[in-house]
Amino acid sequence: MSTAVERFDDGARARFGAHGRTFVRENELLRHPVYSRVLHWSVAAFFILALLSGLAIYTPWLYRVLTPLFGGGPMTRLLHPWFSLGFVAFFALQLLNWLQPMSWTPDDTRWMRRLKEYVANTDKLEPEYVDFFNAGQKLYFWAIVGSSVIFFISGVPMWFPRAFGRTTAAIGYVFHDLAALVMLVGFIVHIYEGTAAQPGTFHSMTRGTVEKRWAWTHHPAWYLHATGRQPQDDYEAAVRRQAGRSAEGGTPSMPG
């Protein structure tokens, strides 16, 4: 029996799916359907607006540069909590959408122990147990959930200091700034990981698809579930094909 929340989530996915299209080519897999992409970019837009308006209010040296973007200082202060509420609202929908693939498993704890190898990029393929999201991505996701809760709880007294009292608002500032620091560091790492670090990843959030070799390289367990094929076998077959082409004088390029 599905709950009302699950029915809402399924309904939203179906409605968005009916309005947008994702073209999946022969050597590709569908990774992020329309609904996930719309939520992701709505979260990103509100996050960036909240970040810029927040930095403008927080730092005197950015105040003069950033506040004109929002129509001046008082307008920036007025808009910041609304941008933030937009961010929290869209992220809450993403939380429902990704709750299942983001749940932590013992394999994620295993993955965390080899974080050094991941950062150093020592292995050709990720371990065979890495599913739709790896533990680093899950950690980022849950850090956003935690930070959003802190932003909300600390931000409301800052928004209405008369109702909550000056002391509560002052404590709110400390937690708000700590959460902002976590989000800023996470955001910088996320942009790097989603673009330059792994070519082909950005495509998954724009066109919605990834190449099969991207899937068997970074998310082998997901590749197995999605295609029914062994990632290691397909990787080795691609290496053999590549070696054959190179021997015939083609341009060498490594699969995976």
- Cβ atoms of 109 and 115 within 8 Å: the answer is no
Tell me which of 16, 58, 140, 159 binds ligand HEM, using CB under 6 A: 140
Task: Provide the minimum distance between the beta carbon of 213 and ligand HEM in the complex, in angstroms, as a whole number.
Answer: 14
Tokens of 45: 């837009």
For residues 7 to 46, the per-residue mask of contacts with ligand HEM, x marking binding by CB under 6 A and - elsewhere, is ------------------------x--------x--xx--
Count of residues that interact with ligand HEM, criterion CB under 6 A = 19
Q: Answer yes or no whether residue 217 interacts with ligand HEM by CB under 6 A.
A: no
Tell me which of 144, 169, 179, 224 binds ligand HEM, using CB under 6 A: 144
Alpha-carbon distance of 85 to 82, in angstroms, equals 5
Contact partners, residue 2, CB within 8 Å, separation at least 6: 10
Alpha-carbon distance of 112 to 119, in angstroms, equals 11
Alpha-carbon distance of 199 to 215, in angstroms, equals 12
Q: Answer yes or no whether residue 194 interacts with ligand HEM by CB under 6 A.
A: yes
Q: Answer yes or no whether residue 204 interacts with ligand HEM by CB under 6 A.
A: yes
Q: Which CB atom, from 84 or from 137, has the smaller least distance to ligand HEM?
A: 137
Residue type, 111: W
Q: Answer yes or no whether residue 141 interacts with ligand HEM by CB under 6 A.
A: yes
Alpha-carbon distance of 139 to 153, in angstroms, equals 21
Alpha-carbon distance of 202 to 189, in angstroms, equals 14
Q: Which CB atom, from 67 or from 204, has the smaller least distance to ligand HEM?
A: 204
For residues 106 to 135, the per-residue mask of contacts with ligand HEM, x marking binding by CB under 6 A and - elsewhere, is ---------------------------x--
